[in-house]
Amino acid sequence: MASTKMILDLDTGVDDALALALAICDPRVDLIGVIASYGNTLVETSAQNTLNLLHLLGENDVPVYLGESHSSTTDHFDVMPISKAIHGEHGVGNLSLATATRKIEQTSGIQFLIDMAHKYQDELIYVPTGPLTNMAKALKIDPEISHLIGNTTLMGGALTVPGNVTPFTEANINQDPEAADLVFTTQENLTMVGLDVTLRTLLTKKDTQQWRELGTQAGTAYADLMDFYIEAYDRLDIDHRGAALHDPLAVAVAIDPSYVVTIPLNMRVTYDKDTKDYGRTIGDRERLLEPTTTNVAVSVNAKRFVRDFMDFMIAVLKA
């Protein structure tokens, strides 16, 4: 019986697709909904990608909601060329997935998050793997959710390693540093799963070949999806050894925190555009003496995580 009520907040590109599959196949998780975000692609495309992947995996009962379409300080969003190079023109490695006929929910993703926070409280785990715009807006509408949600485990940030957009800034945080700062300084029970740990979790084509050999439509599609990602990592000189499991690690840590070693540290995000460290995730000097509300992952048992991830993926893809 699933013990964890989970909401995913995905800007569905490749590693988001992997995170979705992991949340579906782990028996400890009851995935009660997915909120679409902008980032790797446009929010509407992200939502449709999610619906299509759920259909591919035979999970047609998980509702999908629209979140915000752009950052809290802009009036539009354009997908960055680097995002298209890594995730494909439409976020899923240029695959042609069967289009799900199911529609996006009419309720906004923001209201859904607020409603579920009040309904489930400590039972709820929220896992945003894109920009933090949706959570920041929910906090502005209903500040009470800051202490209602059992845990928020986000993929984003970099504390002990350089960023992947600038020397200081990680991509998800870079999309909306102001929103990220609000979340880091307001939301309680927060866990940051950043580049410090995700860059240590690599998947290779040897791994995806196991999915291909299952002989299923889902296994082939996910192998093609991940191979596109691995090839992009190689072509763009990100990593020639394989591609990082950024978003799946956040889901795994939300379920089982023992995958990582964390340090307790109240965090903030710099968002002054006139400084070179715009978008930096760093300890909050003003709250160093206050009770700690955030844990930051700084080390990971990568071997155990990748092994478990592969076991779960094979289980869901062979069905």
Confidence of residue 253 (pLDDT cuts 50, 70, 90): very high
- Neighbouring CB atoms inside 10 A of 278's CB total 18
- pLDDT of 3 reads 73
User: Does the pLDDT value for residue 1 go beyond 70?
Assistant: no
Whether the pTM exceeds 0.85: the reply is yes
User: Does the pLDDT value for residue 290 go beyond 90?
Assistant: yes
Q: How far apart are CA 155 and CA 191, in angstroms?
A: 9
pLDDT digits (tens, 9 = 90+) for 159-170: 999 999 999 999
User: Does the pLDDT value for residue 2 go beyond 90?
Assistant: no
- What type of residue sits at position 73? T
Cα separation values, 141 from 7, 146, 229, Å: 18, 11, 37
User: Does the pLDDT value for residue 112 go beyond 80?
Assistant: yes
* Count of structural domains within the chain: 1
The pLDDT of 207-222, averaged and rounded, is 97
- pLDDT of 4 reads 86
CATH for 161: 3.90.245.10
**Structural domain range at position 14:** 4-317
Confidence of residue 274 (pLDDT cuts 50, 70, 90): confident
pLDDT digits (tens, 9 = 90+) for 200-212: 999 999 999 999 9
Mean pLDDT of the chain: 96
> Could you confirm whether 246 is annotated as catalytic?
yes
Cα separation values, 117 from 100, 214, 232, Å: 28, 38, 37
User: Does the pLDDT value for residue 137 go beyond 60?
Assistant: yes
Catalytically annotated residue among 70, 87, 240, 246: 246
Q: Which residues contact 143 (CB under 8 A, 6 or more apart)?
A: 186
